Structure 1
Amino acid sequence: MPGKRVRRKLIKKKQRQRRRQKAAKERDKQELEAENLRLTDPDYQECLMRQEKLEEFQRQAAEREHQEAEKAWMQREAIAQQQFRIDEAKRRQKQEEVERLQREQAEERAKREESARKQREEHLQRTAKAAAEFEAMMQSMAEYLNDPEIEKPPQHLLRVMETHPEERPCEFFNRTNCCRYGHSCTFNHRRPMLSRILLIRHFFSHSLLQEQRTKPNEYSGADEGLELTEMDMRDDYDVFFADAVEELQKFGTIVNFRTVRNTLEHLRGHVFVEYTDERSALRAFTNLQGRYYACKRLNVEFSNLKTWRGAVCGT
């Protein structure tokens, strides 16, 4: 009995399958007949043509849009390539400029180093030359000082040294052998290597020669300036004069002994000593140089004063 049921189910299944196949064939046949019928219909033919034209128009429009997009892309690519070339040219130009500046800086640095090297060599040569000249000068001075048979000093000891030979002479220095600007003065200072006159800077000092301060020190006495008079300074100067002349006469006969009673710092207390000859002045110069007086180291140099009136101005 179960076998019969299974056979019946299979038979029914095959029957349904045949019916479906038949229905499908019938549907395909009807659709084919309907399609053939439509193909023979003029309206349908016209609709198909319109559809084909629309599809062709859409295809052409899509193709044109694609071409325009490709053209726009090509233009953008060309612009980008041109901008890239411009940027690359600018970058190369900037790099070349940097390299040029680096080369110029290197050349300038090399020139500075070469100039500095030459200056060092010239400085060493000048120093060596100056040292040799100084040694020769000292030897010549020693020979002139120790040999009484040499009556007059050698000409090379009588020459004049100049600070700025290319500039005009400093009038104040010519008149007083002193200058408020010292070595920083831009004018020419002419100094003799040897002469009969010695200049001892700031040799004489006194309270009345000090410049008056605009604001007195609060710890100083109010009557400090009133305690000393011109007579006191004269008495102190007489003591100084006797003491200094006694020592300076050991080196030779003194013709003039002049002291500057000026309150300016670059003139205050300078002493000019004139001997009868250069040998006496040189002897005093070599013996006094570096010595101390009143706890101050003496600064001695030769002078070429023209007149005493301008040199020992008392203002």
Structure 2
Amino acid sequence: MCRARRKLVKKQQRKRRRQKQAKERDKLEEEAQNLRLLQPDYQKWLQKQQEMEEFQRLVAEREHQDAEECWLRCEAIAQRQFRIDEAKRRREQEEVDRLQREQAKERAEREETQRKQREEELRKAAKAAAEFDAMMESMAEYLNNPRVEKPPKHLLRVMETQPGERPCEFFSRTNCCRYGHACTFNHRRPMLARILLIRHFFNHSMLREQRTHKEYASAEEHLELTEQDLRSDYDEFFDDAVEELEKFGQIVNFRTVRNTLEHLRGNVFVEYTNERSALRAFTSLQGRFYASKRLSVEFSNLKTWRGAVCGT
């Protein structure tokens, strides 16, 4: 207990001594400060310090004001940019909506046009089917009724591929065209006529373009086909074809085109004495086969045989 008390007393004594020393130090500093205040140089220094502190305060206020103004400007710029972006986004969205509306309108118009086209095609198909049925009835009546001497006028009309266009001269002369349905000129073809055109009816290797391979260029001549072979094969074909075609009526002309061009090769023209015989042959030959090939038969309106056959 005594030791602790002494320890506490010593501690309090040290504390009082420190407090006393601190007071004396503060008193000395205060006296020194008072002495310095009386000195003109120190007063000038204090005044400068005050001026500097005031200047720093003003600078700080100015910087704060500038920073605030800069922030306000940045905020104003950001707000303006936001409004610009928002307006741009609205314009883009409006443009997208407009394009979508236009596309929807175009799609609707296209669908409506397609619907009308389908309806028109169905109407034309129905009309064509009705015309075809009426034509077939007329043909059947003309074939089966011997009292009707002349064919009905509506069976004698001419069909055109390009109405209003200039007639295809080659088709008018030969009833054939290398361009077929793709020809831009007008092909006039009769619904009924005394002449039948059977495309590629006669088939022979000598009518195809001859391209002799160099390996066989020196082959013996007696091993190759000759004009005599072509004539012999054609005579056999002629006898066979005429015998079959005469079942439908009397034949006036039987002409075969000798030409290596693909659209003319082996075409056969058969002319009957009247349209009834030609129509009977036409209806009977449709869909039939000859030499493993399906026959393609149509009516022809040739003007002269020389233009159709000679020189081709």
Give the alignment's TM-score, normalised by structure 2: 0.87
Larger displacement relative to structure 2 (79-88 or 271-280): 79-88
Read off the aligned partner of 2:43 and give its amino acid letter.
Q
TM-superposed CA distance for 1:250, in Å, is 1.9
Shift of 1:303: 0.5
* Aligned residues of 1:260 and 1:314 also touching (Cα < 8 A): no
Q: How much has 1:225 moved relative to structure 2?
A: 8.4
- Answering whether residue 298 of structure 2 is matched by residue 301 of structure 1, we say yes
Offset, 1:146 = 0.5
Seen in structure 2, the aligned counterparts of structure 1 residues 23 and 299 have a Cα distance that, compared at 3 Å, is closer
Closer, same or farther: CA 37–173 of 1 in aligned 2, 3 Å: same
Cross-structure match for 2:279: 282
Distance 1:210 1:28 in 2: 134
Query: Hey, what's the Cα distance between the residues in 2 that align with 1:149 and 1:105?
Result: 64
The question of 1:263 aligning with 2:260 is answered yes
Q: Percent identity?
A: 77
Over 3 Å counting, the alpha-carbon distance change for 1:299 and 1:221 in structure 2 is farther
| Range with greater deviation from structure 2 (12-21 or 80-89) | 12-21
| Partner residue in 1 for 2:162 | 164
Residues 28 and 142 (structure 1), Cα distance of their counterparts in 2 relative to 1, 3 Å cut: same
- SS of the residue corresponding to residue 273 of structure 1 reads strand
Aligned partner letter, 2:80 = Q
Gaps of 5+ in 1: none
Cα gap change, 1:293/1:36 in structure 2, threshold over 3 Å: closer, same or farther? closer
SS of the residue corresponding to residue 119 of structure 2 reads helix
Distance in 2 of aligned mates of 1:300 and 1:293: 12
Q: How far has the Cα of 1:308 moved from its partner? A: 0.7
Give the letter for the 2:45 counterpart: C
User: Following TM superposition, by how much is the alpha carbon of 1:40 offset from its aligned partner in structure 2, in angstroms?
Assistant: 4.1
In the alignment, structure 2 segments of 5+ residues that lack a partner are none
- What TM-score, normalized by structure 1, do the two folds share? 0.86
Give the total of aligned pairs: 312
Alignment partner of 1:291 out of 288, 292, 296: 288
Q: Which residue of 2 aligns with 1:192?
A: 190
Deviations for 1:26-80, whole angstroms, at most 9, x for unmatched residues? 4444444444444444443333222211110111111112222222333333333
1:82 match: 80
The 2-side partners of 1:29 and 1:36 are apart by 10
| 1:57 alignment partner in structure 2 | 55
Deviation at 1:9, TM superposition (A): 6.4
User: Residue 66 of structure 2 aligns with which residue?
Assistant: 68
- Give deviations 1:117-142, integer Å, cap 9, x for gaps: 22222222222221111111101100
Q: Give the whole-Å Cα distance in 1 for the aligned partners of 2:148 and 2:208.
A: 44
